[in-house]
Structure 1
Amino acid sequence: MAPSKERQRKLARAKLDRQMARRAAKERRRRRVGAATAIGIVAVLGAGLAVWALGVFDRDEDTTEASGESCSWTTQAGADATRDVGQPSTENIPSEGTRPATLTFNSLAPVTATLNITDAPCSVASFSYLAGRQYFDNTKCTEITEEGALHCGDITGDGLGGPTYTYFDENIPVATNPSAPPSGSVTPAYPAGTIALTSPTPGQNGSQFLIFFKDFNPATPKYPIIGSVATGLETVQEIGKTETVANDAGEKVVPKSDVLITSLTVGEVGATAAPAAPAASASTAS
């Protein structure tokens, strides 16, 4: 016998109530899960912020120190290959600190220098690499420039000498006012003792460098600085007094007596160069 209409209505109502109850329970579960997830996210973020505040995620500097600088060397196929010593590494170049260098001219007392890794990491890396392969040893400084510097590292003597690679400029100083009165308040772009790179083509550095024996303050600095003389500047200044003769262009810049780098060495990062001995007579006879 079929259920009465009243019975059918009660059954339908009960079914609807069960459906509504299941939906309500499902919604409550969804809300609980959502709240728990949100709490978990907040907790994780809070913990992360706390850990970050303690410096756990602050690893940029450490990573840089561990991996070092990346440098780029451009191969120069037409460069003089008589002293081809290859190329430095391109990765893990020291990026901070200094390296000591020692230069001996002729039989004079050594000149010590400090190379600035922090401001010129790739330049110092190349200079150190070449020195480590005796690239500069027994080479002439080809000019005593009108700017007041020894011009060295040109191993062919024709202005084009260099390794079989070049690299970009680093640490070119900001121009100061070259017309300011000499009140002592203006620091020249290249103070006496500055060691800077020079190249026949701007931005393509190789082995050529300058050691300034007097202040030089151009309107537009162009030489990238790699370091400075620590001891022995008086030796460089004495060499700067050497008589000069004209080159092929008629410029009176060629030393009449040979100025020879008998040795150029570079020490380890952070090391200190040994103090130079008192300067001997600054005769530059080879």
Structure 2
Amino acid sequence: MAPSKDRQRKLARAKFDRQMARRAVRERRRRRVLAGAGIALAVIVVAVGGAWIGGAFDPTEKTSTEAADVCLWSPLDVANNADLKDVGTPPTKNLPETGTETMSITTNQGAPITASLDVASAPCAAASFSYLAGKRFFDNTDCHEILDIGAVRCGDPSGTGQGGPTYAYYDENTPVQPEPSASASPGAKNPVLYPKGTVTTIGNPAGSNGSQFLLFFKDYAPAAGDTQYSIVGKVTGGLDTLARIGKIPTVTGDAGDKVKPKEKITIKSLTVAADSAAAAPSASAQS
């Protein structure tokens, strides 16, 4: 009996040892797996931390490729001004900002008047002229005033001085009145800011421009404090026609001023075109 029991104990002991050995192997394997997972997790944490520090998880800022506004057009109160004519508004983006455009004015007073519009100095005025010309806004309208400053006033379909489109825009390219010199002699003449042939906008009120414009048929040297006008361009052809218009007698108008031409000055057509094929599309072409 004794030998048999001893053998059973030895077999049980061996079985136990084998079980413990297998358990030890499994435990070592588990530790290696956990150690490997820990290292991988640590690498991931370090990588994520670095990315976070570098701003990879910051809110994505949208990169805007939309063109910026070149001009803004302020709407006018049509309800309180029946002389305004609604033809929409010019575009605000992708407008020419360099070069020149040619404005051609055909009147009943002789050869056409051509003018070079300075797009670089007055981009919004040029865009407005181009847009309105494309709408034939000026066609068959009268130049309703000849001013004593030496300019003819045009561009108001109503002929009242109150008319224009249903939008307005601010002054551009207004000449600076020089400061009076202490050494200037008494009776010294003011400098000419608007030479003969100058084309300007004229707003009502001043600084609020629409469609109305002035064509100067003689030099104008405004006194300090006089109304300033935005220069849009200059006449390049038809100065004889402009001089003829300047000689038309005037009669008293509705406002009591002697500014109304005694003879009709009618714009048959007014067009604006870019001066070169390389120039950006004009506002009238985009309308």
TM-score normalised by the chain length of structure 1: 0.66
| Partner SS, residue 192 of structure 2 | coil
Q: Distance in 1 between matches of 2:153 and 2:128?
A: 18
Aligned to 2:71: 71
Whole-angstrom distance in 1 between the partners of 2:270 and 2:245: 17
Q: Match of 2:141?
A: 139
Gaps of 5+ in 1: 1-65, 272-286
Structure-to-structure mapping, 1:129-208, within 5 angstroms: 129-176=131-178, 188-208=192-212
Query: 1:103 & 1:180 partners in 2: Cα distance?
Result: 38
Please say which structure displays the higher CA radius of gyration.
2
More deviation, 172-181/201-210: 172-181
CA deviations 1:80-113 (Å, max 9, x no partner) are 4774210000111111110011101115111111
Cα deviation, 1:200-250, whole Å, max 9, x if unaligned, reads: 112211000000000001124510010110011121011110011001232
Q: Structure 1 residues 241 and 109 mapped into 2: Cα distance closer, same or farther (>3 Å)?
A: same
- Verify the 8 A CA contact 2:84 2:166 in the aligned structure 1: no
2:237 alignment counterpart: 231
Cα distance in 1 between the residues matched to 2:259 and 2:201: 18
Alignment RMSD (CA, Å): 2.3
Q: Which AA in structure 2 matches 1:241?
A: K
Instruction: Give the number of equivalent residue pairs.
Output: 203
Per the alignment, residue 219 of structure 2 pairs with: 215
The offset of 1:181, in angstroms, is 5.0
Deviations 1:10-47 (A, max 9, x none): xxxxxxxxxxxxxxxxxxxxxxxxxxxxxxxxxxxxxx
SS at structure 2 position matched to 1:127: helix
Q: Which residue of 2 aligns with 1:25?
A: none
Identity %: 48
Q: Distance in 1 between matches of 2:75 and 2:275?
A: 26
| Alignment-derived partner of residue 183 in structure 2 | none
> Is this contact kept in 1: 2:164–2:211, CA < 8 A?
yes
